[in-house]
């Protein structure tokens, strides 16, 4: 068994340990009512089991990380799969640190699903270890990527605590307009998380079924010399084409539910090489997410927020607000160091300029500006509690766009491959 095989096994172990850790956390929090009169003891006991299992998961993932490092000879943060798994591990690490300060098991109920989603998302990307291209061959790869991810991980834990704070404080009994609006947006946030799950489910279901469809797409382009040229390319879909690429012709498609041709065509402005396929993926994710959400609503017969809200009532909302703020206060300097300062130092060495307004750089700056606005609003304008928690939700959306959206939607120097 070589290092890389060992690494893959450790990854699978980590994934399942995280899943069990999450289940135990749910047991610790939601199971309090079945505890025969000792809810505090029940939470302590199951919270400890959940923490131990999750920590074992982290140990397994660290094994995955270091064995892969040894196996491929360079740090595994050089493509989307490796980076996202590292981010998941960093979120786990940040959660462990924040948990050891505050000791609130309910935090695990929110941090672990985040880790699981991030790691499952990572597995969508090609997992082969690839040798480094010259641009990445620098010790700054280790320093920049790891610190940036760790900073983002703390900000993500700040989001988990912020969302929890919202679920705790939003009024699920009131009929007031403001309370209804808040419930709506909490529900939107939950829905977005479920769409992320929907994306992962659709990718893996169709991958397991071995689905394939192919299109021939003609795209217009302008060369550097200013000549108009048209390229003909084959676009391969791994999900049934609801949307076909713009200006394309179907070569073949496996039948799905008896349908073997696309329903719609992508609009003309989505004429990039993979724009049609990405749009199709988004449609499938929304669809699967919506079905999943609908099933959950049917099962519980109330808003998902209203399902979770009663589990949170034992924790002091001020403590949650503090945990969220603390996580962000810890993460912000690390993010500044990793995503901006180290990034500038490396850019100066590799690209001869410390700043070049590359989309990824700009979005790292946007993230930084957003969180500095958060800190100023909180410290000088007294934005605490709900307002501050809503900001953590927006902040998390910005981080996710910086990490994933920029690579998939906007091309730039940092582009990794997309699905």
Partner 1 sequence: MFQNTKCECGHQNPAGTVLCEACGRSLDEGGAAEELLEMRYDGAARRSQKSHPSVLDRIWNFFSSVKIAVYMIVITLIGASLGTIYPQENTFLTTQDLGDYYRDTYGLSGEIYYALGLSHTFESWWFVSLLVLIGTSLVVCSLDRVLPLYRALNKQQIRKHESFLLRQRAAYRGDIEGDPEAWTDRFEQAARKRRYKVIRKDGALLAEKHRFSRWGPYINHIGLIVFLLAVLARAVPAWQMDQYVTIPEGDTVRIEDTNYFVKNEKFTVEFYGDEELPAELKGTLRAKLYRTDAVLYECRSGCTAASGQPELVEVARHPIEVNSPLEYDGLKLYQFDFDNKAVLREVKPVVIDKATGETYGPFTLKMRDPETTFEVGPYRLELKQNFMEFAIGEDGNPITKSRDPKAPAFIFMVYGPGLDEKGEPYIYFPMQKDKAAFSQDKLNAAIADRLEIKVNGMENVSFVEYTTFLNVRKDLAMPYIWVGLGISMLGLVMGAYWHHRRIWLRVDGSRATIGAHTNKNWYGMRADLAAALKAAGNETDPKSLDNGGNRT
Please give the residue ranges that form the binding site for partner 1 (CB under 8 A).
Answer: 101-102, 126, 128-131, 133-135, 137-138, 140, 220-222, 224, 226, 228, 268-269, 316, 318-319, 322, 325-326, 329-330, 332-333, 336-337, 341, 344-345, 348-354, 356-357, 359, 362-363, 365-366, 369-370, 372-373, 376-377, 379-382, 384, 406, 410-411
Q: In the bound complex, what is the minimum distance in angstroms from residue 365's beta carbon to partner 1?
A: 6
Q: In the bound complex, what is the minimum distance in angstroms from residue 333's beta carbon to partner 1?
A: 4
Q: Are 64 and 85 in contact (CB under 8 A)?
A: yes
Q: In the bound complex, what is the minimum distance in angstroms from residue 350's beta carbon to partner 1?
A: 5
Q: Where are the alpha helices (DSSP H) in 31-125?
A: 39-72, 80-102, 106-122
Task: Please name the residues in contact with 391: beta carbons below 8 A apart, sequence gap of 6 or more.
Answer: 162, 370, 373, 374, 377, 383
Q: In the bound complex, what is the minimum distance in angstroms from residue 213's beta carbon to partner 1?
A: 20
* Residue 305: count of CB within 10 angstroms of its CB: 20
Rank residues 109 and 141 by Cβ distance to partner 1 and give the closer one. 141
Distance CA 171, CA 161 (A): 17
Cα angle 102-87-417, degrees, rounded to a multiple of 5:
160
Rank residues 34 and 230 by Cβ distance to partner 1 and give the closer one. 230
Task: Please name the residues in contact with 388: beta carbons below 8 A apart, sequence gap of 6 or more.
Answer: 162, 321, 324, 325, 374, 377, 378
Rank residues 175 and 313 by Cβ distance to partner 1 and give the closer one. 313
Q: In the bound complex, what is the minimum distance in angstroms from residue 349's beta carbon to partner 1?
A: 6
Cα–Cα distances (Å) from 118 to 80, 91, 123, 153, 379, in that order, read 11, 9, 9, 11, 31
Rank residues 141 and 194 by Cβ distance to partner 1 and give the closer one. 141
* Residue 180: count of CB within 10 angstroms of its CB: 12
Rank residues 32 and 384 by Cβ distance to partner 1 and give the closer one. 384
3-state DSSP helix/strand/coil % of the chain, to nearest 5: 70, 10, 25
| Residue 256 DSSP symbol | B
Q: In the bound complex, what is the minimum distance in angstroms from residue 325's beta carbon to partner 1?
A: 7
Cα–Cα distances (Å) from 112 to 71, 146, 222, 368, in that order, read 28, 20, 47, 25
Cα–Cα distances (Å) from 61 to 11, 24, 115, in that order, read 6, 19, 11
Rank residues 34 and 357 by Cβ distance to partner 1 and give the closer one. 357
Q: In the bound complex, what is the minimum distance in angstroms from residue 264's beta carbon to partner 1?
A: 19
- Residue 253 phi, psi (nearest 5): -145, 135
Rank residues 341 and 400 by Cβ distance to partner 1 and give the closer one. 341
Rank residues 34 and 269 by Cβ distance to partner 1 and give the closer one. 269
Rank residues 154 and 215 by Cβ distance to partner 1 and give the closer one. 154
Q: In the bound complex, what is the minimum distance in angstroms from residue 390's beta carbon to partner 1?
A: 14
- In terms of DSSP bridges, do strands 243-244 and 213-222 run parallel, antiparallel, or are they unpaired? unpaired
Q: Are 239 and 280 in contact (CB under 8 A)?
A: yes
Q: In the bound complex, what is the minimum distance in angstroms from residue 5's beta carbon to partner 1?
A: 14
């Amino acid at each position: 068994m070589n290092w890389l095989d060992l690494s893959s096994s450790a990854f699978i172990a980590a994934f399942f340990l995280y899943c069990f850790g999450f289940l135990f956390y749910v047991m610790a929090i939601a199971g309090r009512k079945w505890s025969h009169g000792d809810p505090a003891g029940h939470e302590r006991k199951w919270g400890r089991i959940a923490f131990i299992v999750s920590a074992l998961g982290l140990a397994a993932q660290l094994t995955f990380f270091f064995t892969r490092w040894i196996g491929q000879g360079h740090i595994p943060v050089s493509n989307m799969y490796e980076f996202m798994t590292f981010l998941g591990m960093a979120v786990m690490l940040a959660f462990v640190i924040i948990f050891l300060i505050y000791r609130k098991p309910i935090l695990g109920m929110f941090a672990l699903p985040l880790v699981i989603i991030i790691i499952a998302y990572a597995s969508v990307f090609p997992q082969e270890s690839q040798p480094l291209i010259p641009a990445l061959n620098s010790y700054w790869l280790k320093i920049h990527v790891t610190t940036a991810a760790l900073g983002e991980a703390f900000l993500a834990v700040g989001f988990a605590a912020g969302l929890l704070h919202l679920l705790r404080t939003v009024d699920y009994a009131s009929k007031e307009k403001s309370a209804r609006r808040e419930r709506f947006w909490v529900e939107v946030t939950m829905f977005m998380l479920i769409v992320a799950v929907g994306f992962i489910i659709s990718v893996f279901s169709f991958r397991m079924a071995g689905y394939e469809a192919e299109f021939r797409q003609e795209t217009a382009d302008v060369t550097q010399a200013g000549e108009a040229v048209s390229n003909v390319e084959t676009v391969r879909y791994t999900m049934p084409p609801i949307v076909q690429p713009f200006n394309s012709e179907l070569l073949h498609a496996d039948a799905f539910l008896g349908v073997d041709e696309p329903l719609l065509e992508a609009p003309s402005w989505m004429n990039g090489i993979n724009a049609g396929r990405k749009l199709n993926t988004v449609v499938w994710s929304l669809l699967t997410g919506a079905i999943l959400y609908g099933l959950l609503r049917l099962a519980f017969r109330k808003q998902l927020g209203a399902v979770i809200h009663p589990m949170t009532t034992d924790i002091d909302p001020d403590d949650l607000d503090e945990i969220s703020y603390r996580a962000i206060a810890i993460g912000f300097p690390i993010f500044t160091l990793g995503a901006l300062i180290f990034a500038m130092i490396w850019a100066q060495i590799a690209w001869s300029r410390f700043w070049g307004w590359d989309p990824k750089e700009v979005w790292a700056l946007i993230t930084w500006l957003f969180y500095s606005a958060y800190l100023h609003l909180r410290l000088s304008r007294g934005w605490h509690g709900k307002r501050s928690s809503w900001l953590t939700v927006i902040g998390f959306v910005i981080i996710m766009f910086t990490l994933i959206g920029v690579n998939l939607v906007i091309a730039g120097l940092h582009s990794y491959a997309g699905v």
